[in-house]
Structure 1
Amino acid sequence: MEKVEGKEAIVKTYLNKGNRETTHPSYQASSYASLIKDYNKNAQKEKMQLYPCAYLHNYITQKNDPLSDNIHSFYSEQAPIFVKRDSQKLRSFIKRHITIGDNKENLYKIEKGKIRPSKSLQDALNQMLKGNQEFTIIDDQKVVYEQAVYMAEKAVRTGAKQVLVVNEGPGTGKSVLAINLLVELTKRNMVSQYVTKNAAPRNVYATKLKQDFRKGNIDNLFKGSDNYVDSPENEFDALVVDEAHRLNKKSGMFRHLGENQTKEIIHASKFSIFFIDERQKVTINDSGSLDQIKHFADDTNASIETMNLESQFRCNGSDAYLAWIDDVLQIRETANSHYIGGEYDFRIFDDPHQLKAEITKLNEYNNKSRIVAGYCWNWDKKGKEKSEYDDIVFPEYDFRMSWNLGNTATWTIDKESINEAGCIHTCQGLEFDYVGVIVGGDLRSRDGEIITDHMQRANTDRELFGIKKMLKEKPEEAAEIADEVIRNTYRTLMTRGQKGCFIYCTDKALSDYFKDRLEQINRDYRENDFFDNWGEVAEGEHEYE
């Protein structure tokens, strides 16, 4: 057993033929107890007192044992640990809390109890949203919200399965909408969960939502997409699926469990809502699609509706920049080849120090600016918990920076993480005021054409894991997939900023290409007398008060 610095209720131990992070045994036991108290109707009705504990019958404690570290004290007090040679202590613990037997009556009541969220959980969640401006929904969000609540109520009332698909782009506020739905459906006595493949949005929104609520209660509401492999049909009243384009075909560490995650989610829920943007698929395993959702909805005779969310929050409320970046990255031709939107701040830096300095300055205002990078530098194991470890290095500028640390699950909101660069996995589904993007050698420009090179990706990159084998078997298809993943990755990174995006390119020709595209906008504005100072954006000299 090993300690994991900075992570509450997480330890490292030997699992699945390797040392892996897992939840602390006391956390496991106490979270199961929380699950019963929060959701089992009979346990609530009978006012059952639950006393969790963890028995590690083969474990021998060591000096400065990581299981006893103070960071886990809340959970070890809630659910004490008993190890090898502690059988007498365990016996005393049980006798202290259970004076007489009941012929398994309470176990029977728990097993047969209806699953419904407790009133205390409903009230706590509702209180968390009250007055929290980060979770306010407006305009199109409200329309989708009401439709989702209507379909969920209908599914529970009639037993007819309902599926809602929401097509959304960057900046639509869909995660805020998803959290509001989770809280509202729970308040309406529905067993609901928020689902994403990517852990970053789960961890960040759970942290923002919980306030003084304990981690164990909240974690039962936020789940990964591989949790439904063995779920019985209609086990859940509602599943709210964020980043549905990131769903995999199969689940598990080695992607060998189940048949299809989309199918499993629809099967496990009476009502499911999928938020999807197919241009944000960023790994070779991302398989979620509108066609796939429709296929599995039809297979289960589910009623399916589709709706759209328009961009409101990112890029200063303008779709112009989103269309422009698609055109610039040559993902698709748009009508915005020469128009970026007058309010969005896009700059190219020739020196990474200047980019970092500007992002750091802007971050001082409200901790909402970050540096991210394409996955072209290894995330070395020995430096995963050290911010002083240099992962991204440019010797010609004496520039050094660490990747985001492995001992935090909330990089996007941690105050110290301005000193580390995030990757696609730590920021997708989340947003900042300003984002600085370091573009690696996997994206280059030659004669005005954008080209991609998957060979420039880091060896530790899992986004394209398996592409070499695919290139041998299906070279054209593999090349197309790799190209799409790289372009989508930079599209996603460059649309994380609501107010501005600053870039530094390792390929000078790519930097010149971006400057040329900005100069085209500059010329058009000069010719039409729309904006006299657009050149300031290209030069990176804009002043902030």
Structure 2
Amino acid sequence: MIVYEATKSEFLNDVFHDELVNNICRNYNAKIGRINEREVRAWDNSMQYMYRVLSDHEIPADAGVAIEFKIPYTSKRVDFLISGKQGEKNSVVIIELKQWKSVEKISGKEAIVKTVINRNLVETTHPSYQAWSYASLIKDYNENAQNDEIHLYPCAYLHNYIYQGDYDPLTDKVYRYYIEQAPVFLKGQAKQLRDFIKKYIQYGDNKENLYKIENGRIRPSKSLQDSLNSMLKGNPEFVMIDDQKVIFEQAIYLAKEALRTNTKQVLVVTGGPGTGKSVLAINLLVELTKQHMVCQYVTKNAAPRNIYATKLKRDFRKGVIDNLFKGSGSYIDASLDEFDALIVDEAHRLNEKSGMFSNLGENQMKEIIHASKFSIFFIDERQRVTLKDAGSIGEIKKFASEFGANLTIMNLESQFRCNGSDGYLAWIDDVLQIRETANADFIGGQYDFRVFDNPNKLREEIENLNKVNNKSRIVAGYCWNWDKVGQTNPDYFDIVIPEFDFKMSWNLGNTATWAIDENSVREAGCIHTCQGLEFDYVGVIIGDDLRYEKGSVVTDYTKRAKTDTSLKGLKKMIREEPEKALKLADEIIRNTYRTLMTRGQKGCFVFCTDKKLAAYLKERYQKSNKYETNEFFMSMVAEEKEKY
């Protein structure tokens, strides 16, 4: 969708007569919605600069000009496009316009800078990266751009930014790759930008290429499909086996049926920790994209999105597949059946409403089913860990019925975590008194479970194990504040246990990939940074919100940190519905530790601030260990008897 389009001569005329911004505003209100004053000021300012750049007779009068092109299936809008021809080739120049006056370089993060936006100093993408990524999205998803070989030439124009010489942070060598893909032009470089445009727009096209881009059918390009496929082949952790493959084939069948019969299909996949829900989700994302379907991987929690995107990228540049990974609040304004498929991981974490204040939209489950022809929800209702977590099989059923969708429910049973031990998961449920299980005293397999009396010893063991392959991490219950002052400082210690002189920082706020970062073994993760992810070994620090008293495991919501928003709204609920509120808080705390204690594939090490809880866990494990030894002995005797 394009907000404003014209030929170059019409654009110059609109600017000269002060009609351009009025025309943009009218079209914006009609096509997108209410406009804010900041954007109006930005247009008024930037378009004066573009007027001067395009006031050159060598730029064809009938070249196409578009302002605010909304890229389909995203909230992103391209600031300025110029279309025409370079010889016989169809050409479109993409210009990202910025009002910026200063920039700070950010090391250790690809294509990220810091600048003032809306009076706040924030981290954002480099302008060259922005322009390049927009061009990549159009190229990868617009069928007309692919079939008609429309060549896209991105650049950025910071008309208020004064060049600072050889050490200018904006043009630092760390951004070289993206600047080479999309040159950046600064204040006083209007001539260079004009020359860049003239190089690719030699003849006018009377807006023809703009029309093709705006009306092109949206389909993933062959190159994107091939890239995703090769990325997946290079990641052995995404190989499917057993019931994963069965559900995978059923999901592909349902996705095709949704398209063939024009009937919505909803698939719900249940499964506990380590049953391979995320592996299946990623494989479906790749396969459906390969089959020319427009699909996205969706989670509320950013941590798994960032990790999987990073793993899939490997040697591919950032941004090529970023549009495939989305937050659960992305579908508020989506139209009916806008997507072929939406793949929802961690569906138990979905909220009723979206936005910072949970006041946007109607219901995330409903919005996802509305927006997609085929939707698949991976869910484990025992992993709901905040009061806002509203994802449930019952609600999905209700909304599927509302839309007349065919509903299928399947279950993942095979265990790929905890050394393949279903027994450990049942044992944890019984130990934490979440539910009684038949094998209360049997872990099974060779799972390494240990209770440490000293958190420093636990940390030492995890750090040693991490040296093998960077797949061991420490996590903790949210009983210590995540102080803002230390969120980017690894030397600021949030978690302090004075009795043992133990100090540790929560995971830093300036990384999106804590789970795989090289040095983050020295930082503790919380439920929000590790849910949906797994490690070889996990060390869990259990805080005062979980204790052992009078023969029972008890929870105490008052021991949660003030900065934890998991139980936000609980006090009000206690006043209104005290029994329900306390039951919910109890479930959330137990579910949180269940989730933390099932992140390890090979082992889980625990330290408890409550000594009685530590003694209880040791006793339960010793019983289990004794039972397993007896089981082993009896099986050996049985084998010997069979020989004779």
Normalization by structure 1: what TM-score? Answer: 0.92
Q: Is the 8 A contact 1:525 1:531 kept in 2?
A: no
Q: Is the 8 A contact 2:475 2:538 kept in 1?
A: yes
Match of 1:472 in 2: 575
Answering whether residue 363 of structure 2 is matched by residue 272 of structure 1, we say no
Distance in structure 1 (CA, Å) of the matches to 2:264 and 2:188 = 51
> Could you say what secondary structure the match of 2:428 adopts?
helix
Structure 2 CA distance for partners of 1:475 and 1:96, relative to 1, 3 Å: farther
Distance in structure 2 (CA, Å) of the matches to 1:15 and 1:262 = 33
Bigger shift: 81-90 or 215-224? 81-90
Partner deviation per Cα, 1:212-254 (whole Å, 9 max, x = no partner) = 2121111011111111111111111111111111111222233
Q: 2:150 aligns with which of 48, 51, 54?
A: 48
Match of 2:424 in 1: 321
Distance in structure 2 (CA, Å) of the matches to 1:531 and 1:385 = 55
Partner deviation per Cα, 1:426-463 (whole Å, 9 max, x = no partner) = 11111111111011111111112122222222222122
Shift of 1:130: 2.2
1:434-445 equivalent positions in 2, closer than 5 A: 434-445=537-548
Match of 1:192 in 2: 295
Structure 2 CA distance for partners of 1:65 and 1:265, relative to 1, 3 Å: farther
Matched residue type, 1:203: N
Q: Is the 8 A contact 2:419 2:445 kept in 1?
A: no
Q: 1:485 aligns with which of 585, 588, 591?
A: 588
Match of 1:452 in 2: 555
Match of 2:498 in 1: 395
> Could you say what secondary structure the match of 2:145 adopts?
helix
Answering whether residue 290 of structure 2 is matched by residue 149 of structure 1, we say no
Matched residue type, 2:126: H
Match of 1:540 in 2: none
> Could you say what secondary structure the match of 2:343 adopts?
strand
Distance in structure 2 (CA, Å) of the matches to 1:247 and 1:294 = 14
Bigger shift: 413-422 or 136-145? 413-422
Bigger shift: 75-84 or 177-186? 75-84
1:410-449 equivalent positions in 2, closer than 5 A: 410-449=513-552
Bigger shift: 269-278 or 19-28? 19-28
Distance in structure 1 (CA, Å) of the matches to 2:130 and 2:116 = 17
Match of 2:612 in 1: 509
Distance in structure 2 (CA, Å) of the matches to 1:342 and 1:220 = 40
Answering whether residue 134 of structure 2 is matched by residue 32 of structure 1, we say yes
Shift of 1:54: 3.2
Partner deviation per Cα, 1:68-106 (whole Å, 9 max, x = no partner) = 444433333323344566555544433333223322111
Structure 2 CA distance for partners of 1:118 and 1:67, relative to 1, 3 Å: same
Answering whether residue 72 of structure 2 is matched by residue 72 of structure 1, we say no
Mark the runs of 5 or more structure 2 residues left unpaired by the alignment.
1-102, 636-644
Distance in structure 2 (CA, Å) of the matches to 1:233 and 1:249 = 19
Shift of 1:498: 1.1
Answering whether residue 314 of structure 2 is matched by residue 211 of structure 1, we say yes
Q: 1:344 aligns with which of 439, 447, 450?
A: 447
Shift of 1:25: 3.1
Match of 1:201 in 2: 304
Q: 2:353 aligns with which of 247, 250, 258?
A: 250
Structure 2 CA distance for partners of 1:475 and 1:13, relative to 1, 3 Å: farther
Bigger shift: 149-158 or 74-83? 74-83
Distance in structure 2 (CA, Å) of the matches to 1:217 and 1:72 = 16
Match of 2:91 in 1: none
Q: 1:10 aligns with which of 103, 107, 112?
A: 112
Distance in structure 1 (CA, Å) of the matches to 2:186 and 2:363 = 39
Shift of 1:61: 6.8
> Could you say what secondary structure the match of 2:108 adopts?
coil
Shift of 1:26: 2.8
Shift of 1:303: 0.7
Shift of 1:401: 1.5
Matched residue type, 2:313: K
Match of 1:235 in 2: 338
Answering whether residue 437 of structure 2 is matched by residue 334 of structure 1, we say yes
Shift of 1:169: 0.8
Structure 2 CA distance for partners of 1:70 and 1:451, relative to 1, 3 Å: farther
Distance in structure 1 (CA, Å) of the matches to 2:145 and 2:629 = 71
Task: Report the count of equivalent residues.
Answer: 532
Shift of 1:41: 0.4
Matched residue type, 2:366: K
Partner deviation per Cα, 1:365-408 (whole Å, 9 max, x = no partner) = 22211111111122223322332322212222122212112222
Match of 1:128 in 2: 231
Q: Is the 8 A contact 1:26 1:75 kept in 2?
A: yes
Structure 2 CA distance for partners of 1:9 and 1:44, relative to 1, 3 Å: same
Distance in structure 2 (CA, Å) of the matches to 1:434 and 1:419 = 14
Shift of 1:525: 5.1
Structure 2 CA distance for partners of 1:61 and 1:517, relative to 1, 3 Å: farther
Q: Is the 8 A contact 2:421 2:445 kept in 1?
A: no
Matched residue type, 1:507: D
Structure 2 CA distance for partners of 1:4 and 1:156, relative to 1, 3 Å: same
Normalization by structure 2: what TM-score? Answer: 0.78
Structure 2 CA distance for partners of 1:90 and 1:474, relative to 1, 3 Å: farther
Matched residue type, 1:492: T
Structure 2 CA distance for partners of 1:526 and 1:141, relative to 1, 3 Å: closer
Match of 1:542 in 2: none
Distance in structure 2 (CA, Å) of the matches to 1:494 and 1:523 = 21
Shift of 1:165: 0.5
Match of 1:356 in 2: 459
Identity %: 69
Distance in structure 2 (CA, Å) of the matches to 1:416 and 1:259 = 41
Bigger shift: 249-258 or 230-239? 249-258
Matched residue type, 1:37: K
CA RMSD of aligned residues (A): 2.3
Bigger shift: 411-420 or 267-276? 411-420
> Could you say what secondary structure the match of 2:151 adopts?
coil
> Could you say what secondary structure the match of 2:154 adopts?
coil
Larger Rg: 2
Shift of 1:312: 1.8
Shift of 1:52: 1.8
Answering whether residue 483 of structure 2 is matched by residue 380 of structure 1, we say yes
Shift of 1:347: 0.8
Distance in structure 1 (CA, Å) of the matches to 2:523 and 2:463 = 11
Structure 2 CA distance for partners of 1:6 and 1:529, relative to 1, 3 Å: closer
Matched residue type, 2:128: S
Match of 2:8 in 1: none
Shift of 1:12: 4.3
Mark the runs of 5 or more structure 1 residues left unpaired by the alignment.
533-545
Distance in structure 2 (CA, Å) of the matches to 1:531 and 1:418 = 41
Q: Is the 8 A contact 2:243 2:414 kept in 1?
A: no
Distance in structure 2 (CA, Å) of the matches to 1:134 and 1:490 = 25
Q: Is the 8 A contact 1:6 1:408 kept in 2?
A: no
Bigger shift: 137-146 or 87-96? 87-96
Q: 1:101 aligns with which of 204, 212, 225?
A: 204
Q: Is the 8 A contact 1:5 1:385 kept in 2?
A: no
Structure 2 CA distance for partners of 1:93 and 1:482, relative to 1, 3 Å: farther
Q: Is the 8 A contact 1:178 1:194 kept in 2?
A: yes
Distance in structure 1 (CA, Å) of the matches to 2:530 and 2:628 = 33
Distance in structure 1 (CA, Å) of the matches to 2:314 and 2:294 = 21
